[in-house]
Each structure stands twice: as structure tokens, then as C-alpha cells.
Amino acid sequence: MTLRAVVEGVGHYLPDRVVPNSEFEKTLDTSDEWIRTRSGIERRHFAADDQTTSDLAVHAAQAALENAGLGVDDIDGIIVATSTPDLTFPSVATMVQRDLGMDHGFGFDVQAVCAGFIYALANANALIIAGQAKRLLVIGAETFSRIMDWTDRSTCVLFGDGAGALVLGAQDGQGDNTDRGILSSDINSDGRYRDMLYVDGGVSTTGSAGKLRMQGNPLFRQAVEKLTSTADTALGKIGLAGSDIDWIVPHQANIRIIQGTAKKMAVPMDRVIVTVQDHGNTSAASIPLALSVGVSEGKIKPGDLVLSEAIGGGLAWGSVILRW
């Protein structure tokens, strides 16, 4: 028998404020058509002034626990993927732990920007396989609206706020690619590409959070190549190919990146979960958010083979293959 980290529940949360593309026309030289054509985004959600990343994460965690039919006493630990924490420290995960009323176990954050949830899943899988935990909450949560330069039309129209969560539990499998749960993962980074996507501030540099900066065209070229490569690597580890995938649930950065990656993998778009039009780029929250939407819409079903992949600042990128 082989121990697997199996998805037992999924949930998400979006702030109440919906921001359509037309809102940016009031302050920027842009239009709804310009934004849709270049990104596929039609609207996004922004957190209220008194909402923090941990607030969004708590809502998503509660939804995932309810979906799993579990409570906090059933959870051994919390991993939160985020690049927009409430505070420099403590971690968002410990704030979520507190707000859920959980007085046991552990919590920590993972920071790999848009690839953060993939990194969090890989870490959660390793902890479960190693016997360090039997059940984990894995959350992606972001308030990227707090680090936008509202004068930069090339970036501020792309991002949104939100959170998604999975409950992962230890279950025995046969040890082959028909098992439920996480079957393989692949994570990578290359710091030489830092300037393609970064925030121009930080505690030890400017003493403030800073604003997001991006080189869109070079990043696009890197994204399609690296996302395809990491997906092929993860599939190869378990002897599968793109044709075996039931659903790609990608990082929701840009519809052209999503389409380009699917095309290179020869996977039709009707087998890709796309939410970028409704949520924009929610960074580490985008994959769990899209997974939750895919389940709630009746698309992702038990037994389906799901590929998730993401790339973000660092550059950091990776993929996870799991059977739902």
C-alpha cells in the first residue's frame, strides 16, 4: 500500500466588491475591450478596506471544512500560500488557526507568488506521506489590490483578491496512477528572471510593501514554455500524457497563457477550467479558487485526473497531478 494525500473538501471565498473593467476607464487610458482582448478579464473582486488576507483565508477554510464534513479538531495543520500577508509576521496561517478556534497542530506560510499554491500542495503532500500529519488545510489567499500601482494600466487591471482552500487527508492507495490523491509534483525556480515580475519594496530595502512591477511580453514567453515543461515532467513521473488528463486547472493569469499552454499540450479548451474572466489574477488563490468553482459547477468529479500548473515571480513555477 502507498500513502496518498487525497482531496476531501474544497471551498473558496470572494470579497463582495466586484470591479468591472469599465471602472478603470474613469482613471486610466484603457477600455473594457482593451483589457478583455489582452487578458480575458472582465471583472475582479477587491477586498473591503477592513478585510485582510487572513479574513479571506478563514472564509475559504470554513467552506472547505464544510464541504468535507469536518471540523477544526480533525485538522493537524494549516499551510497558507500568499505573497500579501496581513503583517510581516506572524504568518497568515497562525492567524487562520486562531480565527478558526484551532488550539493544536501547526501553521506556516509559503511564498512563491502565483506558484505558491503548487508549492504548498507539494509541501503538504510531503508532510502527509512522511507521517507528519494526517489531515491538512491548504489555502491560497491574496489581497493583491494592496500592492497595485493604480497609474500603471499594464498591471493594475489584471489582479484581484480572493481565497481558495483544500482539505487534504491521508488515505491508502495501491501505489499506481489509478490512485486518488496527489500522484506527482514538480517545482522549479530561477532567480535570474527576477525582474520580470517583482514588487519594488520590502522590509530590508524600502521598509514598505512597494508596488508590483511586471515585464509582460518576456514573462508571457517564459510562462508558456515553462508551464508546458513542468506539466510534461509531472506527467512523465507517473507514466501519463496530456491525453490522459480530464481537466487542466491552471493558474488564472491571462487567457492567452492558458490557451497557449493547452495548445502546446494538445488539450482542448473544453477540458480547461477557466475563471480568469470573473476573478482576474488572484495569484496563489487562483488555482484553489478555480478548483472549487469547477467542483461547484459539476465539472470536476471523483476519479477525474487533474493537472494544475502555475508560474509566478522568482521566477517560480511548478505543477501537480492529482486524481480527484
Residue 37 confidence (pLDDT) above 90: yes
- Look up residue 25 and give its three cell numbers: 476607464
251 is catalytic: yes
**Model pLDDT, residue 156:** 98
114 is catalytic: yes
User: Which of 250, 256, 254 has its CA nearest to residue 230?
Assistant: 250
- Residue 70 pLDDT level (bands cut at 50, 70, 90): very high
Q: What is the mean pLDDT of residues 145-159?
A: 97
45 is catalytic: no
- Look up residue 272 and give its three cell numbers: 480547461
Percent of the chain with pLDDT over 70: 100
- Residue 24 pLDDT level (bands cut at 50, 70, 90): very high
Q: Of the residues 21, 45, 114, 156, which is catalytic?
A: 114
Q: What is the DSSP string of 167-214?
A: EEEEEEE-SSTTSSEEEEEEEEE-GGGGGGEEES-BTTTTSB---EEE
Residue 1 confidence (pLDDT) above 90: no
Model confidence pLDDT, tens digit, residues 83-101: 999 999 999 999 999 999 9
Strands 316-323 and 181-189: antiparallel
Yes or no: say if 209 and 199 are a contact pair by the CB < 8 Å rule. yes
Q: What is the mean pLDDT of residues 12-33?
A: 97
Please state, in angstroms and as integers, the Cα–Cα distance from residue 138 to each residue in 58, 76, 107, 244, 294, following that order. Answer: 11, 11, 10, 26, 17
Q: Of the residues 12, 59, 251, 279, which is catalytic?
A: 251
Model confidence pLDDT, tens digit, residues 109-145: 999 999 999 999 999 999 999 999 999 999 999 999 9
How far apart, in whole angstroms, are the C-alpha atoms of residue 72 and residue 53? 19
**Model pLDDT, residue 78:** 99
Model confidence pLDDT, tens digit, residues 270-314: 999 999 999 999 999 999 999 999 999 999 999 999 999 999 999
Model confidence pLDDT, tens digit, residues 178-223: 999 999 999 999 999 999 999 999 999 999 999 999 998 999 999 9
Q: Buried b / exposed e across 159-172, counting CB within 10 Å, b at 16+?
A: bbbbbbbbbbbbbe
Q: Buried b / exposed e across 174-207, counting CB within 10 Å, b at 16+?
A: eeebebbbbbbbbbbbeeebeebbbbeeeeeeee
> What value, to the nearest 5°, has the Cα angle with vertex 222 and ends 217 and 224?
100
Yes or no: say if 196 and 213 are a contact pair by the CB < 8 Å rule. no
